[in-house]
Amino acid sequence: MFFSILGSSVKIIASLPAWTVKLHNRMSNCGRPLAAVCQLNSTPDKKANLCAAKELLEEAAQQGASVAFLPEAFDYIGSSQEETLALSESLEGHTMTRYSQMARKLNIWLSLGGFHERGPAWDVDQRTYNSHVVINNKGQIVSIYRKSHLFDVELPEKGVSMKESAFTIPGPTLVSPVQTPVGKVGLGVCYDLRFPELSLALQKNGAEILTFPSAFTEVTGPAHWEVLLRARAIENQCYVLAAAQVGRHHDSRSSYGHALAVDPWGVVMGDCGGEKAGMLLVEVDLDKMSSIRTNMPLKKHRRDENFYTRLSDD
């Protein structure tokens, strides 16, 4: 299925069509760069996941996207803590090598949001980083952000129980926004979305696009996903591009889906839905972003940081 919404600014590909549309120079007909926001259904089968992602990336490149965004756990979603750790790799392993080759072959940048990277002391501490890796169109890793807020949540009344810190090391620091063909991209991962300080720090350091590759649960997704993404877009006057996992991954886990693109005014440009893999093809209009920031200058109106840490008793 192929849909067009909001004029020509967004195309939603819910399942890959038998035909293709070539857009030259990785620009839309209006001359603005194109980003592909992808939705996957990862399982413990790494080979099948790679094939599914490859199909989407080939279509994204064919459609003219210059950057493609994949969700958290694009490599796999294990059915147990033991399987999750056993399937993990280093950045020099087979999975990242294959994605580097694809980026180079397809001449496309990749935002790989949530790679199970083996930690630095793997022999004595078998935990991973949840790593957001950016690869340029030459196949080179240009940035690595390791998820800093870990999803340790118990919602017994809603059937949600997860302790990411049991097998994941929190990242030590944020990383500077990455200059890409669609603009400067500030990197987060999933649960980071809930901490506005992170987004604001990235925006203050030049981010024009915030990205939160995710695997939101079917409980938290309907309540929080869209409203949080729109809030981050509005308060930072940035594009927000959020690739997502969708559907059942194995017997004990499923994800909400609804990979989303939001413009700097907070308007939802496209939604992949909650049923199947697919992608959004999004025009990024940095002139529009600049106009919004000029007309409502939040950065100018924001008080200095000390103002927000001092509360008067009067």
**Which residue among the candidates 11, 46, 190, 208 is catalytic per the annotation?**
190
Q: Is position 190 annotated as part of the catalytic site? A: yes
- Split at pLDDT 50, 70, 90, the class of 11 is low
DSSP β-bridge partners for residue 278: 39
Using one digit for the tens of pLDDT, what is the confidence trace for 231-277?
Answer: 999 999 999 999 999 999 998 899 999 999 999 999 999 999 999 99
Question: DSSP secondary-structure letter at 221?
Answer: I
Q: Is position 51 annotated as part of the catalytic site? A: no
Using one digit for the tens of pLDDT, what is the confidence trace for 297-311?
Answer: 999 999 998 999 999
Q: Is position 164 annotated as part of the catalytic site? A: no
User: Phi and psi dihedrals of 115, rounded to 5?
Assistant: -90, 135
Residue among 88, 135, 92 at smallest CA distance from 116: 88
Share of residues in the chain with pLDDT > 90 (%): 82
* pLDDT score of 281: 97
**Which residue among the candidates 72, 89, 117, 283 is catalytic per the annotation?**
72
The C-alpha R_g of the chain, in whole angstroms, comes to 19
Q: And the tokens for 191?
A: 């649960």
Higher pLDDT, 108 or 162: 108
Note the CATH architecture for domain 10-296.
Answer: 4-Layer Sandwich (3.60)
Using one digit for the tens of pLDDT, what is the confidence trace for 40-77?
Answer: 999 999 999 999 999 999 999 999 999 999 999 999 99
Residue spans per domain, the chain? 10-296
**Which residue among the candidates 89, 147, 218, 272 is catalytic per the annotation?**
147
Name 32's Cβ contacts closer than 8 Å, sequence gap at least 6: 283, 284, 285
